[in-house]
Structure 1
C-alpha cells in the first residue's frame, strides 16, 4: 500500500475548484445536445460535433485531470507544485475561459474566440507543466508513477500546441492545417494525456479503493514505452500523409490493452470492494474496450468510437474517481480546521455510498440515451443513403420503383424554375474566407457549364422546406468544402443527407485566409483536374469545355 503524504496536500479549495467545474461542463454538453440534436452525432467535422467533443475533452476530462494532478502530485509523489498559491486561479481561468471560447468559436464560427482560445489553452497546459514537472523530475520515489506523469504532461503539451495551432488556423490568423494534424492532436490528447494519466493513477487507487492488485511494473513499463513509440511513429506517418488507419489502430490497440488489463485486475481480485467506484470503472473500462474494438474493426468509425470512449467511457472513469477525491479533499480540509483530540468522521461518511450510486445511476442512464441517439442518427443517415440508391435505381432502370411521371422536372422551391433531375446537385460552403469563396466559385462554374445544378446550402441549413426536399430527393450530390470545418457537409447532415462525393479544398493545398481573395489560377487548375471530373462522374450530361471556367 502506497504511503500518502497528507501533510503535503495543497489547500483543498484549489483542486476542488477544478473538480466542481466538471458537472457544470457536463450540463453544458447536455444543453448543446438539446440544441443540436442528432445532427451533432452524424459527422466528426460538423461545428456542433467539434464543440461537443471539446466540452467533454476540456471541460469534463480537462478539469478532472488538472484537479487530480494538483492533488496527487504532492500527496502520492511528494512533489509540491511551484507557486501553487499564486498560480492556482490563473491556471483555472486559462483552462476554463479558453475552453468556453473554443467551444463558442467552433460552434458559431467566431474567429476572434478561436484566436483567443488558440492562445489561452496552450498557455494553461504550459503553466501546469511548469508547476508540476520540476518537482516530479526531482522526486526519488514511485519511479513508474512519475514516468507516467511525465509522459502524460508532455503529451498534454504536444496536444495543446497542436490544438492551439489548429484553432489559430481556423481563426484565419495562420494558414489552415491539413486534417491529418487533427488526428495527431486527438491521439496525443486522448491516448498520451488522458489514458496514460488514468493508467498511472490506477496503480494507486485500484489497490487502495477497489482491493485489486497492480499491473506488474515490467508489463506497464513495456506498455508505456510502446505507447510513446506508437504516438511518435503514428504522428510521423500522418505528417507524411500516410493513411490514418495505422495511427487509429495503434491507438485502439493500446486502449484495448489498458482496459483489458484493469478489467483483469478487477476480475481476479480476491477481496474486491464493491461500490460506486468499482462499478463506474468497470462500466467505463468495458465501454472503452468497445470503442477500441470499433476502431480496430472499422478505422473510419471514429465518431462512434469518440461517443463510446470520450463521451461515455472516460467520463465514467474520471467521475468515479472524482467522488473519492472530493470527499478526501473535504476530509483533509476538516482535519486542518479541527483541533487535536476531536474525532473526525470517516471519509466515506462525508459522501455516502448511496449518494454516489444514485449519481452513477443517473450518469449511466444519460449514457444509454446518448448511445441510442448515436444509433438513431446513424439510422437516419443510412435511410437517406438508401433513398438515394433507390432514386438512382429508378433513374437507371425504367419502371424500377418509380412511375414515369416522376421524371418530370420539379421545382426547387416556391417560385423556383424547373430543374433537370438528371443533373447532380452541387453544394458549397460560401463563407467570407478565401477557401470558402473558391468553393462557391467552383460550384458556380459547374452550374454555368451545365455539369451540375448548384443549390442553396444556406436554405438546407435554415430548414427551408423546398430546399430540404431537394437535398433529400435522391439525386447525386457533390459537396465542396473549403476547410476542415466542412460546413457544407455539416448542413447536409442536419437533414440526414450524405454527399455522394465530397471534395475538401484544403486537401489540395488551398489555404484559408480571412479578408482575402482566392487564387484564381489555382481555382481553374482544381476545376479542371478535380472538381469537373468529380461532377462528370456523378452526372449523365457532358459539360462544356474547361476553358469556360476561365471565362466565367
Structure 2
C-alpha cells in the first residue's frame, strides 16, 4: 500500500511504537514530582543534582522514548526500510532504556551508583543506534529523509558516547579535564544534532503533507542541515582544543532560528485555514525555539548574576516549549493515523469490517486536543511565572503533571478504542 510516495508495506505491529508512547508519560510525572519537591532550588544552577535528574528524566524518559518509538514507524514509511527490533530484543531495549534512565536520575540525586545507568543506557541506546544506522545505510531509500535521519542517529550516538564518557569520569576518572565544556558539547549533540535534525527531517515531509503548505525548497533543506553539521563539528573542535566555545556554540542556535522562521512562513501559506491544534503546536513550539536560541546567542550580554537563571530558563523553554511541544502535537496526528492504518489493513481482509473503522476524532477528539494544548500553554505560562517568581516553581510541576496525565489518557483511550474495534472486526469475519 503506497500513498504520496510513502511506503506503508513494512510498518511494525502497533504495539511496537505504542509501548514507548504509553510509558513516556510516567517519566514526565516523575520529573514533575521532583520539580514540585525541589521548587525554587532548580533556578540556582543547571548543574544542581536535581536539575540534572529532571533534565535526563525528560530528555531520555519522555523525549527519548517517544522519538525512538516514532522511528520504528518513520523509517519504514519515509525510507521504505523496516527497523526490525522485535520480541525479546525489543523488550530488553525498551526495558533497558527505562530502567537505565531511572537509575541515572537516581544517581544524580545520590541515591545509587552511576554504574547501573551507565551499563543499561550504553547497551539499550547503543544497540538501537547501531541497528538504526545499519538499516539506513544498507536498506533505506529516499535521500531527502534518509540522510537527515542518518545524521540525527549519528548525533544521538555521539551524544550517548559523550554522556558515557562523562559518567566514566565520575566512576573511574578516565575523562581528560575539559570542565563544563564537554557537558555543553553533550547538550549540543542532543538538542541540535539528535532532536533538531530529526525534527527537520520529519517536518520537511509532514508539514506539506498534513497541512497542505508549499514544500521546503531543496537549497534551504540542504543548507539548514549542512550548517547544523558545521556547527556541531565546530563545537567539537573547539571543545577538543580547549578553546572558547561561544562563537562555535552559536552556529547551531542561529541555524535553528532560521529553520523556525522558515517553518512559520511555510505554515502561514497553508491552504487549509481551519483551526488545528497541531498547527498551533508547531507555531508555538517554533516560537519557543527562537526565544531560547536568541537567549543562547545573547548570553554574554546577560549579567553574571542572572546567567545561571537564564541558562535554566533556556533549558525549560527549549525542552518543554519546543521539543515536548512538537512531540505533543505530532502525537495528536500520529496516534490516530497509526490506529486507522492498522485497522484498515485488517478491514481489507474482511470488507464488512470497513463499516467499523473509527474516524480520527473518535480516537482523539478535537476537545481532547484542545484541553491538551491548553495545558501545554499553562506549562509555558508557569515557566515565565516561575522565572520572575521562583516560589511558583511547584506550580510548574503541577502543570507538567496535568499536561502529561491528559496525554496519557488520550493515548490510552485511543488504544482502548483500537482494541475494541479490532475485536469487533475479527468477530465479523
- TM-score of the aligned structures, taking structure 2 as reference length: 0.83
Of 366, 372, 382, 1:359 maps to 372
Structure 2 unaligned runs (5+)? Answer: 301-306, 394-429
**8 Å contact from structure 1 (residues 304, 374) kept in 2:** yes
Higher helix share: 2
Of 38, 41, 44, 1:39 maps to 41
Residue 41 of structure 1, CA deviation = 2.4
Residue 409 of structure 2 is matched in structure 1 by none
Of 89, 95, 98, 1:96 maps to 98
Rounded to whole Å, the distance in 1 between the matches of 2:391 and 2:122 is: 34
| Residue-by-residue CA offset, 1:3-54 (whole Å, 9 max, x unaligned) | 3322311000011111112222211121011100011122011111111111
2:281 pairs with 1:280: yes
| Residue-by-residue CA offset, 1:296-323 (whole Å, 9 max, x unaligned) | 1115543221111012221000111012
2:338 pairs with 1:329: yes
Rounded to whole Å, the distance in 1 between the matches of 2:231 and 2:165 is: 22
Residue 173 of structure 1, CA deviation = 6.0
Residue 346 of structure 1, CA deviation = 2.9
**8 Å contact from structure 2 (residues 188, 232) kept in 1:** yes
**8 Å contact from structure 1 (residues 38, 374) kept in 2:** no
Rounded to whole Å, the distance in 2 between the matches of 1:109 and 1:283 is: 37
Question: Any idea what SS the aligned residue of 1:7 has?
Answer: coil
**8 Å contact from structure 1 (residues 126, 157) kept in 2:** yes
Rounded to whole Å, the distance in 1 between the matches of 2:255 and 2:49 is: 29
| Residue-by-residue CA offset, 1:458-485 (whole Å, 9 max, x unaligned) | xxxxxxxxxxxxxxxxxxxxxxxxxxxx
Residue 134 of structure 2 is matched in structure 1 by 134
Rounded to whole Å, the distance in 2 between the matches of 1:122 and 1:29 is: 22
**8 Å contact from structure 1 (residues 188, 231) kept in 2:** yes
Question: Any idea what SS the aligned residue of 1:11 has?
Answer: coil
Residue 143 of structure 1, CA deviation = 0.4
Kindly indicate whether structure 1 or structure 2 has the higher relative contact order, using CA contacts under 8 Å at least 6 residues apart. Answer: 2
Rounded to whole Å, the distance in 1 between the matches of 2:329 and 2:316 is: 18
Which segments of structure 1 move beyond 4 Å, counting only runs of 4 or more? 336-339
Residue 142 of structure 1, CA deviation = 1.8
Residue 320 of structure 2 is matched in structure 1 by 311
Residue 378 of structure 1, CA deviation = 10
- The correspondence of residues 123-272 of structure 1 with structure 2, limited to 5 A, is 123-139=123-139, 141-172=141-172, 174-175=174-175, 177=177, 178-272=179-273
Structure 1 unaligned runs (5+)? Answer: 381-552
Residue 256 of structure 1, CA deviation = 0.8
- RMSD over aligned Cα, in angstroms? 2.2
Question: Any idea what SS the aligned residue of 2:389 has?
Answer: helix
Question: Any idea what SS the aligned residue of 1:108 has?
Answer: coil
Of 342, 361, 386, 1:373 maps to 386
Please, which moves more after superposition, 60-69 or 365-374?
A: 365-374
Aligned length: 378
- TM-score of the aligned structures, taking structure 1 as reference length: 0.65
Compared with structure 1, are the counterparts of its residues 173 and 273 closer, same or farther at alpha carbon in structure 2 (3 Å cutoff)?
Answer: farther
